[in-house]
Chain A
Amino acid sequence: MKGAFPIRRLVTYFGLSIFYVFLLLPIAWLVLSSFRNSDSVQSGRLIPASSELTFQNYVETFQISNFVTYLVNSFVIAFSVMLLTVFLGSLGAYSLSRFAMKGKKLFMMAALLPQFFPYVLVLIPFYVLMSSLNLVDTHVGLILTHSSLTLPFALWMLTGYFNAIPVELDQAALIDGCSRLGVLFRILYPVAIPGLVVAGFFAFVVSWGDYLFVSILSQSNQTQTLPIGLQTFMSSLEVRWGLITAGTVLAIIPTVIFFSIVQRRLVSGLTAGAVK
């Protein structure tokens, strides 16, 4: 596999191009269409004339909808979920990785169990629970909900990460007078940054993309996030695809930017636990 033979390279590029056309074409078509005016989108032609290109869809998206509100809500919620997941997840992982305690295996399994619960089964009791806690239609309610979805993965992954860090580091710090929480923040955090980034990014993506729980818990513009905005956009815009595509592009830009920042770490981080 030295890549020395041109035939081999050719086959590789050919295979890659099949995969990447399939993966990227829908995105490219979406982005292109978001810059075409509505006559152009509906013309049934592949390549638009340059006179048909416009920013109008984006301008109108902001004019006729609450897109800014959706964007702000999505950010506030996804960002908080990210921080909460990394913070609580690392506390739990620190506990599981560094302390002897009864029921450790039980805790690990209990944290994983809810991953297998069908969402549709929990929805109504869940809604009743949240409404008796007065958390329906609040940011806090959504943040806690999303965190409960992202924490199991974070807990497992970070435990694996911490386990891989030599205990001698902690002990040296403890002897130097570092507190037990200090060990987590000063010793483990810097070493485990790739893991923390992945756990945080994963939490962000799950929260940013969630449709089902937001659709249940959100009742007003105060808490609606982009996926809900897009869904109402799609059903109330009289199929004006120019606007729908522009809205979708706006909804994916933040994750794409975030992704491009962390993608190097993502590949190693996501798989580090599994490969071992």
Chain B
Amino acid sequence: MRIKFPHILPLAVALAATTSAGFATELDLWFTPLSAEGPMKAPLTQWLKEHLPKDLPGITVGNNFGPPVYQDGQQKFVVQGRKGKPDVIESVLEGMIAYQRAGLLEPLDDLFDKWSDKDQFIPSTIKALTLNGKLFGVPYNTNVRVLLYRKDLFQKYGLTIPKTWDDFLRDAATISSKESGVAGVGLTTKNGSVRTFQEFISFFFEVNNGENPYKYDEAGKKWAMNTTPEKLTQVLKLYSDFFFGASPSAANQNTRGNDYQATDTDYVSGKSAMVPMGPWIYSYRTNGEVAKKILEEETGVAPLPLPPEGVQATYLEVKPISINAFSKDKKDDWDLVKILTSKDFVATANRIEGVNPPRKDVAQLPEFKNDWWEQAFIAQLPTGVALAPINWGLVINDITEALQKAIYKNATPEVAGKALYNTLEQRAKDNQL
């Protein structure tokens, strides 16, 4: 039996050895893939064990990498960050924005500008991590949402890749009615789930000209609405149509309330024919023969279909590494940030997860350049839209709640859309953003 924690033991021993050399500072690092049970943990732990003593002499990193769930880490860092622990933190964009709002992050512009690697980073990813003109994190991973579809089923029923929402609904309904046990489309619709929100906002960006629902009003010094009730309604109508627009419906009504795990597994086990998805799903290849065949041979990648007069736009995910503003050793912190966003580390981490590198030199490596999956997603990166720097926590709850109202026929899309608009506007007025 192989038990995981001994992996950390040699690391601790190795780190302890460098400590004995003398003036070692110990840094606290929160890095979710290193603490969560997943495919990243063992290889990344191994990588750090080999590289840290060599690349960062005199610095040790604590062998606890924080809470294994992002949302958990976020909650705790916001409460305890002022004590200076952890020193360095990896996060998702929604989290980084919250930390910056709480005054917990160190601006990195000066350090970053002096770094010889700075031109390797794709500008859009750096821009996404720049809040109010200052850079608060360095990216180590990026991806966008695209449409995955089953090539074999499309061929079987003579369908072509859907370009518009109407095509999307029609093709999905066709598959639902013809292929037994398969839903035309799989969606994440659990309330409060970040993934539900990310899928919704991808469709919303298309409707809203590739722009966020809020815009900063320089004159009024606060956030203001940058959309209309009709546009929110339009997206809610799409969801409602997925579940009620045809009979049998495009999406399985029994999957309402599904969280991301169910969406992912349904697709790789052949229960849905199309999904809005990111590149991580490729790591399911190891799940079994069915998943491997679907992902490697039967899946096509296309841009998300467009609404009438919509623009090609999608949710851009960027995962940054940031420095706690209350940390004592910011110089050492920066050295650690540089290692965790270095060419070698980014390549190692991104290869395992199947996501896209934010570094050009990594994207040029043969295993990324010659990989059809990586390339299909990288081709879509320019359409990615970064989230506005607001406190998304409550907005995510509002949006997923409105979405559920629409798909549980609790309200018409029009009523739900209008109510959602009013709630979002009230949040801006009450300065809750």
Contact = CB atoms under 8 A, between A and B. Distances in A.
Contacts of B67: 218-220
B164 interface: no
Contacts of B80: 127, 131, 136
A238 B261 contact: yes
B181 to A, nearest CB: 11
Contacts of A69: 5
Q: How large is the interface on A (under 10, 10 to 19, 20 to 34, 35 or more residues)?
A: 20 to 34
B265 A238 contact: yes
Contacts of B317: none
Interface stretch (A58-66, A101-109, A178-186): A58-66
Contacts, number: 65
A129 B186 CA distance: 45
A232 B67 CA distance: 10
Contacts of B76: 127, 219
B3 interface: yes
Interface in A204-251: 215, 218-222, 232-233, 235-239
Interface residues of B, number: 27
B36 to A, nearest CB: 6
B221 interface: no
A239 B37 contact: no
B4 interface: yes
Interface string B282-310: 00100100000000000000000000000
B35 A221 contact: yes
Contact of A220 (B3, B35, B83, B265): B35
Interface string B44-75: 00000000000000000000111111001000
B72 A65 contact: no
A68 B64 contact: no
Contacts of B68: 232, 236
A256 to B, nearest CB: 23
Nearest to A224: B68
Given A221-B35, A232-B68, A127 B261 contact: no
Nearest to A64: B37
Given A219-B76, A220-B66, A233 B37 contact: yes
Nearest to A127: B79
Contacts of B284: 238
Given A124-B79, A131-B83, A221-B64, A235 B5 contact: no
Nearest to A134: B83
A2 B5 CA distance: 59
B262 interface: yes
Nearest to B38: A236
Contacts of B262: 239
29 contacts: A62-B3, A63-B1, A63-B2, A64-B4, A65-B4, A66-B3, A66-B4, A67-B3, A127-B79, A128-B79, A136-B80, A137-B64, A215-B72, A219-B64, A220-B35, A220-B65, A220-B66, A220-B67, A222-B64, A235-B69, A236-B37, A236-B38, A237-B37, A238-B261, A238-B264, A238-B265, A239-B261, A239-B262, A239-B265
A221 B9 CA distance: 13
A238 B2 contact: no
Nearest to B264: A238
Interface of B: 1-5, 35-38, 64-69, 72, 76, 79-80, 83, 259, 261-262, 264-265, 284, 287
Contacts of A215: 72
Nearest to A136: B80
B1 A59 contact: yes
Classify the interface of chain A: helix, strand, loop or mixed: helix
A131 B79 contact: yes
Contacts of B5: 66, 68-69, 221
A62 B287 CA distance: 18
Given A65-B4, A219-B64, A219-B67, 15 more contacts: A59-B1, A62-B1, A63-B1, A64-B4, A64-B37, A65-B37, A131-B79, A131-B80, A137-B64, A218-B67, A220-B64, A221-B64, A222-B64, A235-B259, A238-B264
A219 B1 CA distance: 26
Q: Which 8 pairs, one residue from A and one from B, show the smallest C-beta to C-beta distance?
A: A220-B64, A239-B261, A62-B1, A63-B2, A65-B37, A131-B80, A239-B265, A66-B4
Nearest to A223: B64
A66 B36 CA distance: 10
A126 to B, nearest CB: 11
B44 to A, nearest CB: 15
Contacts of A64: 4, 37
Contact of B3 (A68, A222, A236): A68
A218 B37 CA distance: 16
Contacts of A68: 3, 5
Nearest to A61: B1
Contact of A236 (B1, B36, B66): B36
B65 to A, nearest CB: 7
Contacts of B35: 220-221
A67 B1 CA distance: 12
B3 A232 contact: no
Contacts of A66: 3-5, 37
Interface string A66-78: 1111000000000
Nearest to B69: A232
Nearest to B288: A38
A238 B287 CA distance: 10
Contacts of B83: 131
Nearest to A233: B37
A248 to B, nearest CB: 16
Contacts of B259: 235
A128 B259 CA distance: 32
Contacts of A237: 37, 261
B180 to A, nearest CB: 14
A260 B76 CA distance: 38
A238 B291 CA distance: 12
A123 to B, nearest CB: 10
B48 to A, nearest CB: 16
